[in-house]
């Protein structure tokens, strides 16, 4: 079932931390909510559109921005109470919250159950304690793993946010992070390449985040491994906003309007390469996947010249027909080394 999210971005004063890469206001744009009345207005407005266009979708109100569970239990409950009438009327199916792993415990989980929270997203960023320390994250690997396990025990769909390109986080460390995530078996993952935003600690330190080309092979492999292990990658990269697109908001890093296309082109390139090595001369692909096979701005053309590519609408996305056999791209072994 399609999930439709009504995102509510809470104010940045909701978070007392100061992670070196964070500028909540810039990353979330100018849509930060000021009071409870704003939330009701936003839900009503969004519901009108969703009911009309996606009547059969699973509808979640999502509390993003800051650290949702930082406040007192009463403050957290006050936010959840706003959504309750919509859940009682069955206009909304659940609530999604995004928070830090070290601000999640049994008491909060029990309250979440009572208010129909369905999905919990954790900003993990990395499981490497040195990387976490370098960006002044304020929690360690153990806290992240415990939070994910607790969330799953309570039956919440659980999502992990990862970053790539953080100070001291080599591509190998990123792939180890992905390996740890696979072991934890969450439902979803989001991956954001580090972008150094103005007015952050990293900007003050003059840190230069790696470009897309420096992280692309590891990022693509990470996405492939997650998907191969049944973890849905629900977002790649920061959502472009007007504030992010303003001049000098993004100082360095992989901030790309078509990051998914870039990443999938690289994964499909690896797949093509393997087929060519096996001597395959022709493959039939889904029409909607064709652009990934050709690659972002034709980046895979050199390989396409070595294999005949046909397309057929009957082929499902992320599948191909090779010598009469249907292969699922994210189930095939496409990297020589797939251990983590």
Beta strand pairing status for 319-322 and 325-328?
A: antiparallel
Contact status: 193 vs ligand SF4 (CB under 6 A)? no
Nearer to ligand SF4, 100 or 256 (CB): 100
Report the nearest approach of ligand SF4 to the CB of residue 68 (Å): 10
Beta strand pairing status for 319-322 and 282-285?
A: antiparallel
How many C-alpha atoms does 247 have within 13 Å on its Cβ side? 0
Report helix, strand or coil for 103.
helix
Q: Which stretch binds ligand SF4 (CB under 6 A): 11-19, 150-158, 168-176, 289-297?
A: 11-19
Nearer to ligand SF4, 67 or 118 (CB): 67
DSSP 211: P
Contact status: 335 vs ligand SF4 (CB under 6 A)? no
Contact status: 15 vs ligand SF4 (CB under 6 A)? yes
Q: Which stretch binds ligand SF4 (CB under 6 A): 10-18, 168-176, 210-218, 282-290?
A: 10-18
Subset of residues 110 to 139 that bind ligand SF4, contact rule: CB under 6 A: 123
Contact status: 194 vs ligand SF4 (CB under 6 A)? no
Report the nearest approach of ligand SF4 to the CB of residue 150 (Å): 18
Q: How many CB atoms lie within 10 A of CB 114?
A: 10
For residues 185 and 149, the answer to whether their CB atoms sit within 8 Å is: no
List the structure tokens of 183. Answer: 């072991």
Binding residues with ligand SF4: total (CB under 6 A):
10
Nearer to ligand SF4, 68 or 268 (CB): 68
Q: Which stretch binds ligand SF4 (CB under 6 A): 1-9, 19-27, 179-187, 228-236?
A: 19-27
Contact status: 166 vs ligand SF4 (CB under 6 A)? no
Report angle CA 164, 245, 69 to the nearest 5 degrees.
55
Subset of residues 269 to 288 that bind ligand SF4, contact rule: CB under 6 A: none
Contact status: 164 vs ligand SF4 (CB under 6 A)? no
Q: Which of 334, 305, 216 is nearest to 265 (CA)?
A: 216
Contact status: 210 vs ligand SF4 (CB under 6 A)? no
Contact status: 66 vs ligand SF4 (CB under 6 A)? yes
For residues 225 and 181, the answer to whether their CB atoms sit within 8 Å is: no
Nearer to ligand SF4, 126 or 300 (CB): 126
Report angle CA 141, 146, 151 to the nearest 5 degrees.
130
Contact status: 22 vs ligand SF4 (CB under 6 A)? yes
Contact status: 340 vs ligand SF4 (CB under 6 A)? no
Q: How many CB atoms lie within 10 A of CB 53?
A: 9
Cα-based distances in Å from 147 to 62, 103, 113, 212: 19, 9, 15, 31
Report the nearest approach of ligand SF4 to the CB of residue 139 (Å): 9
Contact status: 18 vs ligand SF4 (CB under 6 A)? yes
Which residue among 4, 96, 100, 221 contacts ligand SF4 (CB under 6 A)? Answer: 100
Report helix, strand or coil for 313.
coil
List the structure tokens of 7. Answer: 């995102």
For residues 112 and 153, the answer to whether their CB atoms sit within 8 Å is: no
Report the nearest approach of ligand SF4 to the CB of residue 19 (Å): 3
Q: Which of 31, 95, 41 is nearest to 68 (CA)?
A: 95
Report angle CA 270, 195, 142 to the nearest 5 degrees.
80
Site string for ligand SF4, 27-46 (x = CB under 6 A): --------------------
Nearer to ligand SF4, 237 or 295 (CB): 237
Which residue among 28, 46, 67, 69 contacts ligand SF4 (CB under 6 A)? Answer: 67
- Alpha-carbon distance of 226 to 238, in angstroms, equals 19
Contact residues toward ligand SF4 (CB under 6 A) are: 15, 17-19, 22, 24, 66-67, 100, 123
């Amino acid at each position: 079932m399609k999930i439709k999210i009504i995102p509510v971005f809470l104010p940045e004063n909701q978070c007392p931390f100061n992670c070196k890469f964070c500028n909540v206001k810039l990353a979330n744009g100018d849509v930060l909510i000021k009071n409870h009345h704003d939330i009701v207005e936003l839900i009503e407005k969004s519901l009108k559109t969703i009911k009309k266009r996606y009547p059969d979708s699973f509808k979640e109100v999502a509390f993003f921005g800051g650290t949702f569970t930082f406040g007192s239990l009463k403050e957290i409950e006050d936010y959840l109470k706003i959504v309750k009438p919509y859940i009682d009327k069955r206009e909304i199916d659940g609530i999604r919250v995004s928070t830090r792993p070290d601000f999640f415990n049994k008491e909060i989980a029990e309250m979440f159950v009572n208010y129909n929270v369905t999905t919990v997203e954790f900003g993990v960023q990395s499981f490497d304690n040195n990387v976490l320390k370098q960006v002044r994250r304020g929690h360690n690997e153990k806290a992240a793993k415990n939070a994910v396990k607790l969330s799953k025990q309570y039956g919440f769909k659980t999502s992990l946010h990862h970053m790539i390109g953080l100070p001291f986080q080599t591509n190998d460390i990123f792939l180890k992070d992905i390996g740890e995530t696979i072991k934890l078996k969450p439902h979803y993952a989001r991956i954001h390449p580090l972008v150094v935003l103005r007015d952050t600690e990293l900007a003050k330190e003059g840190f230069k985040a790696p470009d897309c080309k420096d992280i692309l092979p590891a990022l693509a492999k990470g996405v492939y491994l997650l998907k191969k292990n049944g973890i849905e990658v629900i977002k790649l990269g920061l959502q472009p906003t007007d504030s992010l697109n303003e001049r000098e908001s993004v100082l360095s890093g992989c901030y790309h309007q078509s990051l998914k296309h870039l990443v999938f082109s690289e994964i499909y390139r690896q797949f093509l390469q393997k087929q060519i090595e096996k001597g395959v001369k022709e493959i039939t692909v889904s029409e909607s996947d064709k652009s990934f096979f050709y690659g972002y701005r034709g980046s895979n053309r050199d390989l396409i010249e070595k294999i005949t590519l046909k397309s057929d609408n009957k082929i499902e996305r992320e599948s191909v027909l090779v010598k009469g056999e249907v292969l699922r791209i994210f189930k095939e072994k496409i990297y020589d080394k797939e251990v983590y």
